[in-house]
Amino acid sequence: MESQQAAATLAALAQTTRLDLIRLLIGEGASGLPAGDIATRLGVPPSTLSFHLAALEHAGLTQSTRHGRQIIHAVRINGLRQLLGFLTETCCGGDPALCGDLGALLAPEPTEDLTMTPAFNVLFLCTHNAARSILAEALLRQIGGARFHAYSAGSDPAEAPNPEVLAKLQAFGHETSGLRSKSWHDFTGPAAPVMDFVIALCDTPQGQTCPDFGNLSVTGAWPLPDPSQFSGSAVERASMLNMLYGSLRRRLEIFTALPFASLDRMAVKARLDQIADEATLAPVKGH
């Protein structure tokens, strides 16, 4: 473990709820606990718990896996071991015999299942789920890698994504076969994935109210022009799509680089709002 990684891990632990959470999960061992049980035992609201669990997972201290309809959270022993090893590697001039019981904390490294990849669920919203949110979903899948799961939906979904948008994504090397237009209500039922972030790419349509995605989500607004309102030649429409693509790429590059483990919920919300101002519309270079 390098100093920078150790500092980020310690920052993730520098909060009383997260310390209590880690101590609870250490007591449960590899079997872990469902989020609901953790919330009950710690007396923490589910919205607060979700944010702290995500921060610890991104710091490499816990891991989650799905069992049926439950998400089980368990301590990642190797993550703790690496931190303890970093803090104690110079103990007593390298002579473990002088370190007393501290050496017992550094028993032979256990094996662990590295296939359970921590990830944030991110839902992008617009009106028709045909252009802006489709672009964002495809971009985050590429930029975010395994750290993010991207979804998109609309208040009044179209029958299918905009063909020009799909062609643009294909030209930029994105996989588009799984992209489809769908209602935002698809993400409100009990079987729907729990969202960590909900980002609106347009103003709430007049007379419509965004569904309640629960207090678990950090919400942001990145208003962008609607391609369905574009007019002009094919060249002009292609230029506007280039600008939309470029703006979303820059915003998502900033978003995915945020130090989530060291930020609290309000700080992340503030950064989401700032990102909308940091990446203005501009064409994509080279296209």
For the segment 151-198, what is each residue's pLDDT rounded down to a tens digit?
999 988 999 999 999 999 999 999 898 899 999 888 887 777 778 888
**Residue 112 confidence (pLDDT):** 44
Please state the separation of Cα 214 from the chain's center in Å: 16
Q: What is the CATH number of domain 120-278?
A: 3.40.50.2300
**Residue 215 confidence (pLDDT):** 56
**Residue 27 confidence (pLDDT):** 86
> Taking a C-beta distance cutoff of 8 angstroms, is the pair 86, 10 a contact?
no
**Residue 97 confidence (pLDDT):** 61
Nearest to 81 by CA among 104, 101, 99: 104
Give the burial class of 108: count Cβ atoms within 10 A of its Cβ; 0-12 exposed, 13-18 middle, 19 or more buried.
exposed
Rounded to whole angstroms, the Cα distance separating 204 from 86 reads 49
> For 241-251, what is the mean pLDDT?
92
Res. 254 pLDDT band, cuts 50 70 90: very high
pLDDT at 287 over 50: no
CATH 1.10.10.10 location in the chain = 3-106
Rounded to whole angstroms, the Cα distance separating 116 from 60 reads 11
Reported pTM: 0.59
CATH 3.40.50.2300 location in the chain = 120-278
Q: What is the CATH number of domain 3-106?
A: 1.10.10.10
